[in-house]
Amino acid sequence: MDFRISADDRVGAQPAQKGKSQPRAAAKGQRIEPSIGQSMGLLSDRERPVGGGSGGGGGRKPPKAQKPEKPRRGKAETAKPRKKRRSGGFLMGLLWWGFVACLWGGLAVIGVIVYYGAQLPASNTWAIPERPPNIRILAADGSLISNRGQTGGEAVTFRELPYYVPAAFIASEDRRFMSHFGVDPIGLISVAIESVQARGVTRGASTLTQQVAKNLFLTPDQTLGRKVQEAILAIWLEQNFTKEEILELYMNRVYFGAGATGIEAAAQTYFGVSARNLSLGQAAMLVGILPAPSAYNPKVNPERAIERQRLVLNLMAQEGYITAEEASAARIDPDQTVRTRVAGSESYVADWVESLMTAYIGDIQSDVVVQTTIDYKMQKDAEFIVREAVAEEGAKRGFSQGALVAMDVDGTVRAMVGGVDYQASQYNRAVTAKRQPGSTFKPFVYLAAMEKGYTPDTLAEDAQFDYNGWSPRNASGKYAGTVTLRQGLAYSLNTIAGRLAIDVTPEKVIEVAMRMGISSPLTPVPSIALGTQEVNLLELTSAYAPFANGGNGVIPNVITKIEDVSGKVLYEASDAGPGRVVDPKVLSEMNDMLKTAVEVGTGRGANIGGWDVAGKTGTSQESRDALFVGYTSAMVTGVWLGNDDNKGTKLSGGNVPASIWHNFMTKALAGKNPAPIPSGSYAGQVIAQQLVDPNTGLPVVDPATGQPQVQYVDGGTGQPVQTTIDPATGQVVAIDPTTGQPIQGLQPLAQQTSNPPIQTNQMVDPATGMPVTNGADPWAQPGQTVTYDANGQVINPNAGLVQDPNAGLNAAPIDPETGLPMTLIVDPATGQQVWVPSAPATQNQQVITQQNNTFAPPAAVEQQPTYQGERQQRTLMDLIFGN
């Protein structure tokens, strides 16, 4: 029989729901195999079999069958794997979208790089820009005076430096420098993490290579484009240069503050040593400046500089470049003062040298080394003496500045002080400033008078007078009456200098001053006698050098040689100069008067025991300027004191300036043997001597040319010598009649000068090194060179004009009756210059010797008689006013 069990018969079964068919039961003994549909519970009602039954259950509607447990279990089992697939899909999705994001991010980065990289020039045009040239200025002994140029120091190579100098840069600025490729990814990530944690940017992430790229090629703008270009250029640098070369570029071009660019400039600026000689502590302090040069500068903030030094030393120890003990030993005690170099008076010299460079070698293309004439010890002595005098006397005498120029008698500058404190003011009061020289200008007035025929013993009247509304007064307000010119100069009597300037004419005074070395433009007015027109101290001092060296003009010189860094000579000084500018006899008279000015006159405070000393004091109006210029046979020195604002003082040239001169020269001359001041001589030179007819006393005229004849004599003995024209040079040379060869030791005529001196209009401004025109020759145009023949006469386009040795002019017409050059005077009726016949010369009078000229007073003064013959005792009152 069939035995059927329904779902309701199961333990805990629920009644079948109405209307639901039940699956058909299997026959007795028959196995029922579940189908996929059954097992998954996915079959529809139509697909399920409906069984009929007999017995008690056969007549009723079969209850709704419950879902079998197995399918439920199967459903649960299939759900679990689906959950696993969902979790794995999330991770896969995360990885997928991360990959996609990275891909798009990478494309974006590439796009940014391409975009900003395209704005750079083609890589085949990239090149390291030339470093601005440096001018290394050395003293005569080779010690460094200063560096000049945009960087303030020369470039040094990696291997010239102690090992700890580049190590300090690496440890502090880029510790993975030797291993990265120009950009440091590890450093970037580290900085990013630090910045996130700090919620702000903590530090930069640029490598040394990137900083080099920025300094060489880019602007300092903090923009995305600049950072991208910086990275591109950094990688290019790494591909084209070694690590040492890149670090060398960085060290030589990074800014350290205080105007110092590069490690050498920084070492010199802060410590006064070369980078090659830096100590470990100094190197660490310099590297510590780099993050903020203005804040960590040891000149400005030494405490912060010490802190930064400790930090760099610790980093060097951490990286293994030095030991902890070495780091500790190199640290500066916080209580110890950081000593940095202070720019002294030698910086005024360096500025002057730098200003001359273009005139000497043109535009500077690379580093150069300049050898100067400066004596470094003498320079420091001068600086100390001037500063001490201003500090001690300045407050009570009302002055705040001083300047000094010292040179050998040949114009070689040995020391120059342009002011009291270079740090406070870089204005050079020795070269750039022009001030009234006061009575220090008077020697040029007296020199013009001596050349005209006066002597130191000529009498003059020290008394007030009026000339066309100009009435000079003595500084003391007192007048001495009749005095000699020697006394007039020694005691600096203004009335005497004024009378002389009127007599010789201001134009002549200017000609003499320019011949001696004054290059500033001067105006021909009578007050020039009192030094009312401005000059600089350098040219004024150099104009006294001919008095000290025997009568030869000088051009102030501070540069002996200029070389490039490879040793190639770009410029070398020569010994050429203006030649003789003062006649020996006149020079002796001038030295006589100027020595008197120091022995008993206003310059008494300048006396030095054992030495011949000569010089002149000067004080301008209201004592705005006080000067003393003096000399020995070894050196010439000028001193100026005053105020930059031209405020009056309580100074005079004879007090503090003379004292400074005395103190400086005592040190400068220490160890040298005293020698007398030379008066000059024509010994060893060929002199042209005018031939005079002994019967008439008139010059012998060559009938072929109509010119006065001359003979040549040995300047030392006065004996006639035979001469010839040197075919190689065209100069007149003396020959030995027995051998026919030139006499050794006698200079050709063209190498000497007569009185007034033979010279050209090419002069050099000592302040600029550029040619200037002295205006002495009436036919010369600015910059034109005047040519002279073998007799010392001017060759010019105007026929019949020759040099006039009497009037002190370059040329004069010939008097047809006497054959003598005529004299230029001022017509008292018209005030115009006119030529008049000259007095006849005495027998055997040399061309170089002054004759007593016809005196023609200015228009406002009565015409006086003609004086002639040998020089005689006379008074200026007789000459000018007829007394």
What 3-state class would DSSP assign to 715?
coil
Q: Of 463, 548, 475, nearest to 499 (Cα)?
A: 463
Residue 92 pLDDT exceeds 90: no
- Would the pLDDT of 871 be above 90? no
Q: Report yes or no: 143 and 288 within 8 Å, Cβ to Cβ.
A: no
DSSP three-state, residue 788: strand
Measuring CA to CA, which residue among 621, 441, 457, 612 is closest to residue 539? 441
Residue 626 sits in a domain whose CATH number is 3.40.710.10
Residue 640 lies in a domain: yes
Q: What is the CATH number of the domain that holds 217?
A: 1.10.3810.10
Q: Residues 380, 289: one domain?
A: no
Q: 386 and 321 share a domain?
A: no
Query: Which residue did the predictor score with more confidence, 849 or 601?
Result: 601
Contact 100, 333 (CB under 8 A): no
d(CA 161, CA 163): 6
**Cβ atoms of 623 and 438 closer than 8 Å:** no
Whether residue 419 sits in one domain with residue 549: yes
Residue 152: exposed, middle, or buried by beta-carbon count in 10 A (0-12, 13-18, 19+)? Answer: buried
- Average pLDDT of span 741-765: 49
pLDDT in tens, 817-843: 555 555 555 444 444 555 555 544 332
Task: Clarify whether residues 265 and 380 are in a common domain.
Answer: no
What is the token pair recorded at 558?
């501070």
pLDDT at 730 over 60: yes
Q: Which of 146, 172, 347, 439 is catalytic?
A: 439
Instruction: Please tell me whether residues 39 and 182 are part of one structural domain.
Output: no
pLDDT tens figures, 276-307: 999 999 999 999 999 999 999 999 899 999 99
- Using a pLDDT cut of 70, give the percent of the chain over it: 69
Q: Give pLDDT, residue 574.
A: 86
Long-range contacts of 782-790 (CB under 8 A, 24+ apart): 785/760, 785/761, 786/759, 786/760, 786/761, 786/810, 787/760, 788/750, 788/758, 790/725, 790/730, 790/731, 790/732, 790/749, 790/750
Would you say residue 757 lies in a domain? no
Confidence of residue 749 (pLDDT cuts 50, 70, 90): low
**Dihedral sign for Cα atoms in the order 739, 744, 749, 754:** negative
Q: Is residue 398 part of a domain?
A: yes
Give the pLDDT of residue 340.
Answer: 80
Query: Residues 314, 386: one domain?
Result: no
Beta-strand pair 134-138/368-372: parallel
Confidence class for position 697, pLDDT limits 50, 70, 90:
low
What is the pLDDT, as a whole number, of residue 76?
Answer: 46
The last residue of one of the domains, among 304, 330, 356, is 330
Q: Do 45 and 191 fall within a single domain?
A: no
Query: Which tops the pLDDT comparison, 480 or 764?
Result: 480
Residue 416 inside a domain? The answer is: yes
Angle (nearest 5°) at CA 223 between 226 and 216: 30
Pair (164, 40) in one structural domain: no
439 noted as active-site residue: yes
Looking at every residue in the chain, the average pLDDT score rounds to 77
Question: If you average pLDDT over residues 335-355, what whole number do you get?
Answer: 88
Q: Do both 325 and 382 map to the same domain? A: no
Determine, yes or no, domain membership for 181.
yes
Active-site residue among 6, 146, 154, 173? 173
The residue out of 679, 710, 740 marking a domain boundary is 679
Is 392 in the same domain as 326? no
Give residue-wise pLDDT tens across range 548-573. 999 999 999 999 999 998 999 999 99
Summarize pLDDT for 10-58 with one digit per residue, the tens: 444 445 444 444 444 444 444 443 333 333 333 334 344 444 443 444 4
User: Which structural domain range is residue 163 located in?
Assistant: 154-330
Which pLDDT tens digit goes with each residue over 211-231? 888 888 876 676 666 777 788
Q: Please check whether residue 298 lies inside any domain of the structure.
A: yes
User: Quick one: pLDDT at residue 748?
Assistant: 66
Q: Are 399 and 543 contained in the same domain?
A: yes
Residue 35, pLDDT score: 35
Boundary-marking domain end, from 23, 51, 71: 71
Instruction: Give CA–CA dist 175/379, Å, rounded.
Output: 45
Tokens describing residue 454: 């006066």
pLDDT tens digits along 618-664: 999 999 999 999 999 999 999 999 999 999 999 999 999 999 999 99
**Position 616 in a domain:** yes
Residue 783 falls inside a structural domain = no
Q: Are residues 17 and 166 in the same domain?
A: no
Q: Which tens digits make up the pLDDT trace of 55-85?
A: 444 444 445 545 455 555 444 444 455 555 5
For the chain, how many structural domains are there in total? 3
pLDDT of residue 758: 28
